[in-house]
Structure 1
């Protein structure tokens, strides 16, 4: 069995799922038409959005199951891998919106795709839709499918791309809603982050690892870096990197003012590889160099 099945083109993925190719760069794929198949690791060279429209519990693709009645969206950027290789068989169900990066070349959407950070979220950070949201998403899919079924003319590409952008903008709104409705769970993550951040600087990790990174804490909290970063931004109004830097400066101020430890040693204690980098950051954030701040106080 192949380790990873890679789909290079939209047509290959349509054939894999027994769907007709109406456009070489974009498709609304009816996964119900696919034959039952073995669990495999799958990779796509294009953007992929899975919409599970049934009462979940079978949201598999070799991954975790989910229990959400209204529907679920999973986003994959080109090059991402989903699933696992097993001898089990399953029946794919739902809809997939797939579109190749080449479709977006020269468009406004192509320039802002990096802003849709949910394409780098982990599968367990999927978007769970309400009934109203589900209808909105299906309406977007219908508009794209309508254009695909028409004869291609000079308006086709622009209208398809515009409807994909509309769909993604709705997804941004719905993710914002999800962050709010999961506020209690998010606060628990924020508290754990704060605890781990404090523990980091009372351990030997600054010496062994260096400065704490967003990726380090995201991994420790079992979240993708983008989801973690977006969650912290929604909860605090600051990026995760800003939040970490604020903690570094807070601890640095205490060390500079409250001890006679040399500035170089303080820099190393915080995880800086070079003391001058610490001095530069401190001056940027506080307005004084560490020595100036010590003398000022």
Structure 2
């Protein structure tokens, strides 16, 4: 397996132009003069790749596709790639340093590489191509204006965000099982003794997804974040325990739900319900 830690060595491996900068690299593909088949690789930076009418020989479907692909640090491309050298495209490479210094750029889509590509319509290709032309203008100029370049990168990633939402809506059946599996995993978690509150990462690991990807799918289809979905279930279970199991005091209810500190449970419940646990229990008893 080959691991690339910088743009220069990776570009040499692919047959791309030498990068003009160590933190941002923008360019166009030249497939006839590039490596069309590779071994297993990893890159220690972020990479957004737009390929137009690419044929991937490693898949059963030999029809050309047009899509955005993502690479991120620690993501292994297990079989490498094997493509026909007939496509067109462009790429953007960002160092971990540039992401850390400009956190607004780090939208969740940069770690989607292990889940799914973003398939583009002709109109979306035109929009992205127009932004790339502007990026190249400021990347190749002698007086490189990185503030303008970063602004266009932000525009590109914002377009990706919008196009992913379109893709999610186009074929909801493809994603519904993720939402269902997530919600069932919360139920399963609380059907056993618990020692702590679960977080989004816990369920993402259970489902074999990144937390960002899971969160975006759940937010798109439920209009609530994954954490809000977890909190909704915790409140629902808390209400059930307070009303149906009167032998438990509020401290015991807190521990049953995985809260380490009962005071935190009381504050959490009050914020969500506008009543303390004790007030909610008394009100429920009065209604009955």
TM-score, normalised by the number of residues in structure 2:
0.82
Tell me the SS of whatever aligns to 1:121.
helix
Q: How do 1:1-297 residues align onto structure 2 when only pairs under 5 Å count? A: 3-8=1-6, 10-21=7-18, 23-24=20-21, 25-30=24-29, 32=31, 33-36=33-36, 38-45=38-45, 47-58=46-57, 69-77=64-72, 79-84=73-78, 90=82, 95-100=90-95, 110-114=102-106, 116-149=107-140, 151-153=141-143, 156-204=145-193, 206-207=194-195, 210-260=196-246, 261-297=248-284
Structure 1 residues 159 and 190, CA, compared in 2 at 3 Å: closer, same or farther? same
Tell me the SS of whatever aligns to 1:71.
strand
Structure 1 residues 221 and 103, CA, compared in 2 at 3 Å: closer, same or farther? closer
Unaligned 5+ runs, structure 2: none
Counterpart CA distance in 2 for 1:295 and 1:199 is 29
Counterpart CA distance in 2 for 1:105 and 1:272 is 32
Between 181-190 and 238-247, the greater mean CA deviation after superposition: 181-190
Cα deviation 1:26-78 (Å, max 9, x = unaligned):
23152623235541222223x311223234444x6xxx88777441212234x
Counterpart CA distance in 2 for 1:280 and 1:242 is 16
Number of residue equivalences: 277
Counterpart CA distance in 2 for 1:265 and 1:65 is 55
Structure 1 residues 215 and 103, CA, compared in 2 at 3 Å: closer, same or farther? closer
Tell me the SS of whatever aligns to 1:189.
helix
Verify the 8 A CA contact 1:31 1:92 in the aligned structure 2: no
Verify the 8 A CA contact 1:29 1:98 in the aligned structure 2: no
Please state how far the C-alpha of 1:172 moved relative to its aligned partner. Answer: 1.3
Counterpart CA distance in 2 for 1:89 and 1:235 is 33
Please state how far the C-alpha of 1:175 moved relative to its aligned partner. Answer: 1.0
Structure 1 residues 255 and 103, CA, compared in 2 at 3 Å: closer, same or farther? closer
Structure 1 residues 269 and 4, CA, compared in 2 at 3 Å: closer, same or farther? farther
Structure 1 residues 126 and 91, CA, compared in 2 at 3 Å: closer, same or farther? closer
Counterpart CA distance in 2 for 1:249 and 1:181 is 33
Cα deviation 1:205-236 (Å, max 9, x = unaligned):
x24xx322212222333322111111111222
Please state how far the C-alpha of 1:102 moved relative to its aligned partner. Answer: 5.7
Please state how far the C-alpha of 1:283 moved relative to its aligned partner. Answer: 2.1
Counterpart CA distance in 2 for 1:236 and 1:271 is 24
Counterpart CA distance in 1 for 2:241 and 2:100 is 51
Verify the 8 A CA contact 2:51 2:66 in the aligned structure 1: yes
Unaligned 5+ runs, structure 1: none
Please state how far the C-alpha of 1:267 moved relative to its aligned partner. Answer: 2.1
Verify the 8 A CA contact 1:36 1:92 in the aligned structure 2: yes
